[in-house]
Structure 1
Amino acid sequence: MSDTRIVTVDIGGTHARFALATIAPDGTITLGEPATLHTKDHGSFQLAWQAFRDMNGGTLPDAVAMSVAGPVGGEVIKFTNNPWIIRPARIQEMLGPTRQTIVNDFAAVAYAVARADETEFLHLTGPEIPLPETGTLSVLGPGTGLGVAHLYRDGKGSYHVQATEGGHIDYAPLDLIEDAILVRLRKRHNRVSVERVVSGPAIVDIHATLAAMQHEAIHEMTDVDIWNAGISGQDSLAAAAVDRFCLALGAAAGDYALAHGAGGVVIAGGLGYRIRGTILSSGFAERFRAKGRFSALMAGLPVKLITHPQPGLFGAAAAFAREHLHQ
């Protein structure tokens, strides 16, 4: 058997990442150098595909694995935070690939978790042990939205990935500050979901709420500005917003673990990796465990951060290998 070459794509709300990948007969996946395109710079997925094809001399492999930020399985894929539309039945006609795999973006991350080496995880809280080989793992991560999936492993080397839209469940505040965040959000949204508080853009409302509570003027800052100022520690209000974000992330991670019956939790995404230091020094762990009668149970769950640089691309390739190559 020879290697299989594919295009692997990870499409989020802000970026579309493309890479060439090689899948060896033994299942080993090797990613080429990723190319990151801004979705706002390309009017459609087809135009972004053509741009990547041009970067690679005008030709691409005839197989594609796609990770997309939204529900999959219908005749039309519409993205949760991105205006592109993809019709899976027309991919061969429009783009050329004769084989395709399309998975939800956090299903792809769960595939990456299933295949990643133990060295590619950073321990966050709970017992410092490997992730269990049997049972369910909750996988979640903040980005433009909040992605959630879960992974079941049977202890014999096989596994099943389940995509979800868990980022859209109702948000539950846990203290007076979060009550104030909810009040602010309800002025614009009839229903406030978790990703309105636990996602990259959500830092703007967290920051504005803290400013109002301090009776400070709300300066116009983008989410990127707030993240940069908060992570660097150069701005105390922005730093407090990032810390508050970590509390909300910890509470949400614990909720998903309870809902999934998980034996471990994995945090993923570029934002999660970027704020890993703040997660470790914040009240993330305390919020994760603070589940009343189940606090002891939560304290026994290992919680880790996947450090693979491109889990979406790697996971989409793993999903392709599983579907088409039975690996």
Structure 2
Amino acid sequence: MTDATDLPLFLVADVGGTNTRCALARGAEVQAESIRRYRNDDFAGLPTVLKTYRDAMGATPDGACVAVAGPVADGVAELTNRDWSIDTVRLLAATGARAGAILNDLQAQGHALGHLAPDVCETVCTSAAPAREGAARLVIGVGTGFNAAPVHVTPTGRVVPPSEAGHANLPVRTEAELRLLTFVSTSHGFPSVEDVLSGRGLEQTYRWLASEAGASEERSAAEIMGSLDTDPRAEATVRQAVRMLGTVAGNLSLIHLPFGGVYMVGGVARALGPHLAGMGFADAFRDKGRFAGFMQNFAVHLVTDDHAALTGCAAHLNELAPTG
């Protein structure tokens, strides 16, 4: 049996707009006791965060990988909601690692699949047949923003292509959704999926529903989720989000054919989790006309592990530098 200390040591980080979480991993396993959270406002840039963590842990990692909430192109990541960037040269300099990788946060979630404990994946929709071995999977992230990424297993390793699915147009199925799309267009000039399916999307939908009633009330996403039993407008906001999530997830499933399953991740997805069954997610997911029966091929799961992106970074590095 391989001793854990024989496995490569990795420094991994999950970089959001507000916070950065760092951890050490042995092979594909994140060391839970090593996880630290840093407020981005306290640092000038990501390299400073990584160096601070490395110095605090006294670690010299074999490899380093960061998952960034923003687009990655040509080895450079740009955060969507913060004026930060990182490239491989700066990553290696900050961490002292010999090898490095930079991923979009949804790519990291895709690399985590298969390395998560079974009890952190709750089934939302069952499929008509067991997941096909080696079949494509789909990760959908709903949090500060929205994104999705397919996951493919190939003879040369796992491939998780980057994507910016949250900036595609909102789908429209009803007259009410058309009015919501118009409201979003008035506010932002373009009705993107992320404008409804995200934390700020909940807030915008609440404002739309208020405007429909001739009011101008506003609520934060946390206030909306905390007042479902006392505020009918909050309940209607979440119901709209659940059904829209079902529609969008169904559309993405038809595009990517994830016979290995759909996996929803992110803080807003987890907050919506208890309401998916009762507010029509499955019906909206499968509402595809003559392809409604075909949609039974896709199981949908909710990932409740908030550290899955860290696991994905470690798994990706471990695949790039196998031991044995």
Q: Report the TM-score, using the length of structure 1 for normalisation.
A: 0.88
Contact 2:46 2:84 in 1 (8 A): yes
| 2:271 maps to 1:274 | yes
Deviation digits for residues 57-78 of structure 1, max 9, x if unmatched?
x545352121112222425321
Contact 2:152 2:159 in 1 (8 A): yes
- Residue equivalent to 2:199: 200
- Residue equivalent to 1:248: 244
In structure 1, distance between residues paired with 2:148 and 2:210: 30
Write the letter of the residue equivalent to 1:292: G
Contact 1:138 1:150 in 2 (8 A): yes
In structure 1, distance between residues paired with 2:200 and 2:15: 17
- Residue equivalent to 1:125: 125
Deviation digits for residues 144-198 of structure 1, max 9, x if unmatched?
11121111246x9964322222222111122122222211111132322211111
| 2:152 maps to 1:148 | no
Mind listing any 5+ residue stretches in structure 2 that lack a counterpart? Answer: none
- Residue equivalent to 2:11: 7
In structure 1, distance between residues paired with 2:255 and 2:100: 32
Mind listing any 5+ residue stretches in structure 1 that lack a counterpart? Answer: none
In structure 2, distance between residues paired with 1:150 and 1:36: 28
Alignment map for 1:27-106 (pairs within 5 Å): 29-33=29-33, 34-53=35-54, 55-56=56-57, 58-74=58-74, 76-106=76-106
For residue 124 of structure 1, report the CA deviation from its aligned partner. Answer: 0.4
In structure 2, distance between residues paired with 1:153 and 1:132: 12
For residue 13 of structure 1, report the CA deviation from its aligned partner. Answer: 2.5
In structure 1, distance between residues paired with 2:250 and 2:145: 18
Counting matched residue pairs gives 318
Do the aligned partners of residues 309 and 87 (structure 1) sit closer, same or farther apart at CA in structure 2, a change above 3 Å counting? closer
- Residue equivalent to 1:221: 219
- Residue equivalent to 1:303: 300
Write the letter of the residue equivalent to 1:70: G
For residue 119 of structure 1, report the CA deviation from its aligned partner. Answer: 4.1
For residue 308 of structure 1, report the CA deviation from its aligned partner. Answer: 2.9
- Residue equivalent to 1:258: 254
Deviation digits for residues 292-321 of structure 1, max 9, x if unmatched?
121110123211112334110000111111
Contact 2:64 2:99 in 1 (8 A): yes
- Residue equivalent to 1:18: 22
- Residue equivalent to 2:288: 291
**In structure 1, the residue corresponding to 2:292 is in which secondary structure?**
helix
Q: Using the aligned pairs only, state the percent identity.
A: 28
Do the aligned partners of residues 274 and 105 (structure 1) sit closer, same or farther apart at CA in structure 2, a change above 3 Å counting? same
Q: Structure 1 stretch 121-130 or stretch 63-72: which is displaced more?
A: 121-130
Do the aligned partners of residues 201 and 60 (structure 1) sit closer, same or farther apart at CA in structure 2, a change above 3 Å counting? farther
Deviation digits for residues 103-123 of structure 1, max 9, x if unmatched?
111111111113335443211
**In structure 2, the residue corresponding to 1:206 is in which secondary structure?**
helix
